[in-house]
Structure 1
Amino acid sequence: MRNIDPFAEEMAELGPELNWPPYNDAPHRDQPRRCTTGNSQLTQTEKLPLFPPLPPAEPYPVEALGPILADAAAVIARKVQVPDAIAAQSVLSAASLAAQAHADVLLPYGQSRPLSIYIVTIASSGDRKSTADNEALWPIRRREETLHLYFKQEFQGWLVTHAAWTAEKRRIEADRKLGFENRKIALAALGPEPETPLRPVLTSAEPTFEGLVKSWSDTPAALGVFTSEGGQFTGGHAMSAENRLRTAAGFSVLWDGQPVTRMRALDGVTILRGRRLAMHLMIQPGAAAEFLADPVLRDQGLLSRVLVAAPDSIAGTRRYRRPVAEDEVFLRAYHARILALLEAPWPLSGDRAKGLQPRPLRMIEAAEDLWRDFYDRIEERCAPNGDLRPVRDFAAKAAEHAARIAGVLTVIADERAVDIDPETIRRALRLTSWYVEEVVRLHRSCRPDPALLRAQALLDWLGSRNEAETKFSAILQLGPGPTRTKKEAEAAIDVLKVHGWVAESSQRPRTIRLIPGGSSIA
C-alpha cells in the first residue's frame, strides 16, 4: 500500500486527473540499499542482488496528452506494439518541435520559457523504439522533403544572383574613375551580399554543439536533435571527455532560450538569438546509465532539463495484430496537425540573426493557481526529509517542465491561442507528476549506476560460458565490451565479489570462479 502524502487531500481537490501519488517508499524502509560498488568491506555468505527491486513502471497517462496527441500515441502503441510511454515520448517530442517556433510560455513570476522539451527514452534493442519514432516523425520528414524541393529551386536562383552581385561589386571596387564618396554610394546602392537560402534541415541525429552553432545561421531557427540510436550521441564526439561540459552547457543555454554567443579566432564573433531546439534521444539501458549517472552532466544541470521514461518491455507478448483501418484516421489527423504547424508562418524577425520572436502564452488566473500549488508541493517534497530530496535537481524544474508541456498542448490545440486554460494545466501537471515519479523510481533502483550495470554484464557473460572458472585474461579478451580494460574488469569483479557472486580461485594465473545458483536481480 502506498504511503499517504500529507498533501494528497489538498491536491485531490484540484481534480482527480491531477494524479498526485507519492513514490511508494515502504518496500525499502526496512532494507539497506544494495548499491555497493566495490569499495565496501562488506563480507557476507549470502548472495546479494546487484540491484534493489525495481517497481514496475506506472502506466503512462496517455489521455493527458489531449485529443490529437493522445489518439496518435495510442494508435502508434497498438500499431507498432510498444509500451504507451515509448509512443507518447515520440509524439510529445515531435509536438514540441512543431510548436516551439510559435510561442513561449510566460511563467507566473514573469519570465518566459521556450516550448522546447528535451526527452530521453530508455529501451532495449528489439523494443521497436525506432519504428514508433518513425511513425511520430512522419510529418517532420515530409516537411523536410518539401523544404528540400524549395531549396533546390531557390539555390539555383541564388547562384545566379550571387554571381551577378559579386561581379558588380568587383567592378565598382576596380573602377578608378570613382572617388571615395561615389564608390560608397555605388556599393550602398548595390546592397548587402545575397543570403543563401536556408538549408532544408529540421532535425539532426548527433550534432556537435559547435557545429550546430556554426551552421544555424543557414538553417531554420527551430530545430530538433532526434535519434533512435542515442548512444551515438551520448558516446560521440560531442559528449567526449574534453567536450562534455561545453556541450552540456550549450544545450542548457538553448533549453533556457538564451542567446548563443561564440568568439573564435577563425570564425570571429557569432551571436544567435531567437533559436529553439527540441530533443529526443532513444537510448539502450547501458548507454543511458552512463549518460544519466554522469556527474558532469548532473552538476552542470543538463540532466535536470530532461524528461526520462524507462518503460517495462512488452517483448514476448506482441503477437501479430491486423491493422485497424479506424486507427489510420487518428494517425492522419495527428500528421496533418503537426505538418500544419511546421508549414504555418513562423514569427521571424526581419534580421535572420535575430531569429524567432514567439508570442507569449499566459496562464489564466485559475490555471496559474493550479500551477502555483503544484510548484509549492514539489518544493515541500524537496525538503531534507522529503522523498524528492535525492532528485531535487530535477524536481526543482518540475513546475517549469509542466509549463512547457502545457504550452505545447495549447499550441497543438490552437496555434493562435494566447492563454493556457486550467484543463490544459491539469493535464500538463498530471504528465509532469508521472515524470517526477519515474525519476524517483529509477534513482531508488540504482539502475542508472554504470558500475552496477558493468558488473551485471560481466555476470551474465560468466554465466553464459558454462564453465566453472574463467581466467582474468579471458575477460579482457572476450568479455563484455565495458569490462575489456583492466581497470573496469577489476572494478566489476570487486562488485560481484562483494555481492557474493564470484570468488577468486587463484592468483597466478588469476582465475575467477562463478558461485552457482541464485539471481542477480531481485
Structure 2
Amino acid sequence: MAQARYDLAAEQAVIGAALLAPALMADLAATLAPADFGRPAHVVLWEAMCGMHAAGIPSDPITVTAHLAECGIIGKVGGAAYLHTLTADVPTAAHAAHYAGIVADLAKRRKVADLGSQLSHLATSVTDAADMLAAGRALLDDAEVPGGWSPLIPLGRGRHLPAFPADMLPGWLGDQVRAVAEFTQTPLDLAASLALACLSTAAGGRAEVEVRGSWREPTNLYTVVVLPPGSRKSAVFAAMVGPILAAEKALIERTAPAIIEADLAAKVATKQAEKAALAAANGDGPGRDTLIAEATAAAMNAEAITVPAKPRLVADDITSETAASLLAEQGGRLAVLSPEGGIFATIAGRYSGTPNLEVFLKGHAGDLMRVDRRSREAEHVDKPALTMGLAVQPEILRDIAGMPGFRGLGLLARILFAVPENTVGRRKIGADPIPTQVAADYHAHLHALVLALAEWTDPAVLVLTPDANDVVLEIERQVEPRLAPGGAWSHIVDWGSKYTGAVVRIAGLIHLAENLHDGWGKPVDADTVHRAAQIGEYYAAHALGAFDDMGADTAVRNARTLLAWIERTGMTAFTKREAFRAVQSTQFKTMADLDPALAVLEAHGYLRQLDPPPPKRAGGRPPSPSYLTNPEVHRPAATVHPLAARRAS
C-alpha cells in the first residue's frame, strides 16, 4: 500500500516542467532524487534527466528523447509519445517547485511507511530483544541519510574519468604499457599516451590515412598527460622513449658515411669555385669570357651539393624558431617528447616576449610552412609533421588556458589530454619489474618501425576498407549532435571538430604497429577503426575534464583537492583542523583558505557542517567546526551517474 501512495499528476507536472524549462533542473535535481518518484517509468526518466544535468546537457524534450533512444531505455518510459504528453499536460512550469514539494512529501511518507513495516516485521520475527533493538537502530540510521542529503552535484567532469583502454593497442605495445605502469606504479594513462606519441614519432611525416576524396589525415599526434610532481614521469619516459633514441642513433650511424662524403664534396667544390672565380677575376683578353663561364659552372656545382643533416627524431624544450629550423632540416619530421611542460611557456613567448604558435599549428595539420634560415634562403616544408608527447603539472594546464592564442588560434584543440588519477600515496612497494621479453619485444618492434619508415620521402598512403569507412561515417554522425548548441561538446566545439580526424590518425598508427613490415601495403580494416574509436572516447572524456579544470575557479579546484583527500582516506566525519593538517600546502596556506572549498562542497551536497558544541569554558576558544560526509561520496558509481558519464564521453 505504501508504494501506491504517490501523486501521478504532481510527478508528471514536475517532469513536464523540467522538460519545458531545462533551467529548472538545477533546483529540481537538488530537491528530488529518482527514488522519490512512485511510478517506475518516472524513476527511470528522472534518473536519466539528472544524469544529463550532471553532464551539462540540457533536458529539453528533443535532447532527452535522443538520449533515451541512444541509451536504449526509451521504451521503459513509455516512448517519445509519453514525453510529449508530459509537456502538453503540465499546467505551468512556474509552479514546478510546488509540484516537487508534493512529490518529495509523499516520498518521505512512503519511506516512513516502509520503515514502519520493517520495524513491525522485526518485532514479530526477531526473538532476542537486544538484537531487535540493534537492528531497529540500524534501520533508523539508514533511513536518516537519504532524507537528509540532497543528490550530489558533480564538481565538473574532472572526476572519475575512465582509464586508458590498453587492450585496444597492439599486443606488444599494450604489454609494455601495462608492465611500465606496474613497475613504476604510475597511471596506465601516462605510458599509454606516450606509447602513441612514440608511434607518432616513427610514422609522422612518413604515412597518412586516406579517408575519402581529398581527405587525408597525417599520423602525428599531440598528447599531454596531466600529473603532479613526484609522479615518476621521468622513469616512464625513459622506458618508453628508449627505442626511439636508439633508432635515432642507428640512423646517425647509417647516414654518417653519406654525410661525410657529401661534406667533403661540398668543400672540394667550394674550393674549386673559389679558384675559378679568382682566375676569372684576374683574367684578361679574349679568354676572360671562358673563365667567367667556368667560374659560374663551378659555383653552381658547389651550390647544388647538399650535405644531409644529422638525423634527429626527438627534441626537448625548444623554441618555436628552433623547432621550425629542425623540421626543415629533418624533412618535415620531428618529435618533442618531454616529462615537463616548459615548452608551453617557451612558445608563449618566455624568451621572445611574443607568442609564436605557427609551427605547432601547421606542424599538426601538415600545412605548408615557410622557414627562414640564417645561412641560406627561406625553405618550404610542404607537409610538416610535428609530434608532441608531454607530461605537465596541473598548474601548467591551468596556465595554458590563459596564454594568448592557445585557445583562440586552436592549439588546445589539437591536443589529446589525459588527466589520470594521481597514484602518489597509494603506490605498491616492490612492484614487479618489466619482464625482459616484454621490454625486448617493445624495443625491437618500435626500433624496426622507425627504421622501416625512415627512408620514405613521400608519405605512404594508408587506405580504408569500405567497412572501415562506414565506421568513420558513423563516428561523424555521433559527433555532430555533440557539437550542436547545448550538446555535450558545445563548449569544446574547437576540440570536438577535430575528434574524428584524431580517431583516424590513431587507427593509422595502430595499423602500422600491427603490420610492422608491410602496413603501407594493406588497407586499414573496420576493427582497427573501432579500437581507435574506443581510445578516442577515452580522450574525449578526459578532454572534457581538462577543459573543465582549465575553466574552473580556485574554489572549485581547491574543493576537488579536499574531496580527493576525503575519498582517499574514507573520511565520514572530520574537523576543519584535521582537514587543514592533511591538505596544508601552497594551495592551503592558512586555515581560512579552506573556507571557500568547504563552502563549495557543502553547496554541492558532499558535506554538511554539524552544529558546533559549546566551548568547554566561558570565553574559551570555540572548537574547530565539524563536518559530516555524504555517504554517497564513498560510492563512486553513485557520485557521477553512469548515464551522465556515458553521455559526457
Q: TM-score range by the shorter chain?
A: 0.7 to 0.9
Could you tell me which residue of structure 2 aligns to residue 214 of structure 1? 325
Distance in structure 2 (CA, Å) of the matches to 1:50 and 1:517: 22
Counterpart of 1:26 in structure 2 is none
Rounded Cα–Cα distance in structure 2 between residues aligned with 1:254 and 1:371: 24
CA contact (8 A) 2:468 2:524 kept: yes
State which drifts further: 409-418 or 234-243.
Answer: 234-243
Distance 1:426 1:369 in 2: 11
CA distance in 2, matches of 1:519, 1:210: 55
Contact residue 332 and residue 383 of structure 2 kept, 8 A = yes
How many angstroms apart in 1 are the aligned matches of 2:162 and 2:453? 39
Choose which of 393, 398, 415 in structure 1 pairs with 2:494. Answer: 393
Distance 1:61 1:167, change over 3 A: same
Query: Map of 1:77-476 to 2, 5 A cutoff?
Result: 77-150=181-254, 156-176=260-280, 177=283, 179-180=288-289, 183-185=292-294, 187-188=296-297, 191-193=301-303, 194-219=305-330, 221-230=332-341, 232-236=342-346, 238-240=348-350, 245-247=355-357, 249-262=358-371, 268-292=377-401, 294=403, 296-315=405-424, 316-323=426-433, 327-344=435-452, 346=454, 348=456, 356-414=457-515, 415-444=519-548, 446=549, 449=552, 451=554
Quote the Cα distance in structure 2 between the aligned partners of 1:271 and 1:110: 22
Cα deviation for residue 458 of structure 1 reads: 12
Q: Is the 8 A contact 2:155 2:556 kept in 1?
A: no
8 Å contact 2:157–2:544 — kept in the other structure?
no
Residue 212 of structure 1: how far off its partner (Å):
1.9
Equivalent pair of 1:209/1:238 in contact (CA under 8 Å): no
Question: 1:293: Cα distance to partner?
Answer: 5.3
Letter in 2 for 1:365: P
Maintained 8 Å contact 1:202/1:220? no
Encode CA deviations 1:330-384: one digit per residue, 9 max, x unaligned.
Answer: 3322221111121125455xxxxxxx41022121111111111111111112222
CA shift in 2, pair 1:345/1:51, >3 Å: closer
For each residue in 1:38-60, what CA deviation from the matched residue of structure 2 results, as whole angstroms up to 9, or x when unmatched?
xxxxxxxxxxx995584312121
Q: What amino acid is the match of 2:242?
A: W
Q: What is the CA–CA distance in structure 2 between the aligned matches of 1:164 and 1:119, rounded to whole Å? A: 46
User: 1 CA distance for matches of 2:355 and 2:555?
Assistant: 24
Relative to structure 1, the CA distance from residue 292 to residue 55 in structure 2 (aligned partners, 3 Å threshold; closer, same or farther) is same
Matched, 1:6 2:66: no
Structure 1 gaps, min length 5: 11-29, 31-48, 349-355, 461-465, 467-478, 485-491, 502-514
Partner of 1:471: none
Q: Cα 1:416–1:109, aligned 2, differ >3 Å: closer, same or farther?
A: closer
SS at 1:73 equivalent: helix
Q: In structure 2, which of residues 156, 172, 185 is the aligned counterpart of residue 68 of structure 1?
A: 172
With over 3 angstroms needed to count, the CA separation of the structure-2 counterparts of 1:197 and 1:143, relative to structure 1, is same
Call closer, same or farther: CA 1:455–1:105 in 2, change over 3 Å.
same
**Counterparts of 1:519 and 1:388 in 2: how far apart (Å)?**
35
Q: Which residue of 1 aligns with 2:42?
A: none
Whole-angstrom CA distance in 2 between matches of 1:453 and 1:432:
27
Once residues 426 and 457 of structure 1 are traced to their aligned partners in structure 2, the CA distance between those partners, rounded to angstroms, is: 34
The structure whose RCO (Cα within 8 Å, separation 6+) is larger is: 1
Secondary structure in 2 matching 1:86: helix
TM-score, normalised to structure 1's length?
Answer: 0.73
The CA RMSD measured in Å over matched residues stands at: 4.1
SS at match of 2:406: helix
Check conservation: 1:69, 1:92, Cα contact below 8 A.
no
Amino acid at match of 1:310: V
Q: For 1:277-332, what per-residue CA distance to the aligned partner results, in whole angstroms no more than 9, with x for missing partners?
A: 111111011111212454621111111111000110222232212336xx332332
Q: Which residue of 1 aligns with 2:54?
A: none
Q: Give the number of aligned pairs.
A: 442
Q: d(CA) in 1 for partners of 2:468 and 2:172?
A: 21
User: Judging changes above 3 Å, is the alpha-carbon distance between structure 1 residues 77 and 455 closer, same or farther for their aligned structure 2 residues?
Assistant: closer
Query: Residue 126 of structure 1: CA displacement?
Result: 1.8
1:184 and 1:408, CA in 2 relative to 1: closer, same or farther beyond 3 A?
Answer: farther
Q: Given that residues 304 and 394 in structure 1 are in contact (C-alpha distance below 8 angstroms), is that contact kept between their aligned partners in structure 2? A: yes
SS at 2:277's partner residue? helix
Q: CA deviation at 1:457?
A: 12
Between the aligned residues of both structures, percent identity stands at 21
Q: What is aligned with 1:43?
A: none
Contact kept, 8 Å, 1:198 with 1:220, in 2: the verdict is no
The whole-number CA distance in structure 2 between the counterparts of 1:151 and 1:265 is: 24
Conservation of the 8 A alpha-carbon contact between 2:276 and 2:291:
no
* Per-residue Cα deviation, 1:476-508 (whole angstroms, up to 9, x for no partner): xxx95x999xxxxxxx9997799699xxxxxxx
Cα distance in 1 for residues equivalent to 2:204 and 2:418: 22
* CA spacing shift, 1:366–1:345, aligned 2, 3 Å: closer
Whether contact under 8 Å (2:484, 2:490) holds in the other structure is: yes
Higher helix fraction (1 or 2): 2
Q: TM-score, normalised by structure 2?
A: 0.60
Q: Distance in 2 between matches of 1:56 and 1:496?
A: 19
1:19 is matched with none
Q: Which amino acid aligns with 2:292?
A: R
Q: Which moved more, 1:214-223 or 1:450-459?
A: 450-459
SS at match of 1:369: helix
Matched-pair contact (CA < 8 Å) for 2:316–2:336:
yes
Cα displacement (A) at 1:200? 3.5
SS in 1 for 2:208: strand
Unaligned residue ranges in structure 2 (runs of 5+): 1-46, 52-66, 74-96, 98-152, 564-576, 578-584, 603-623, 634-649
Does the residue aligned with 1:59 lie in a helix, a strand or coil? Answer: coil
Amino acid aligned to 1:143: A
Task: Provide, for residues 237-281 of structure 1, a one-character-per-residue CA deviation record: whole Å limited to 9, x for no partner.
Answer: 55449666432x321111111110146899753322233211111
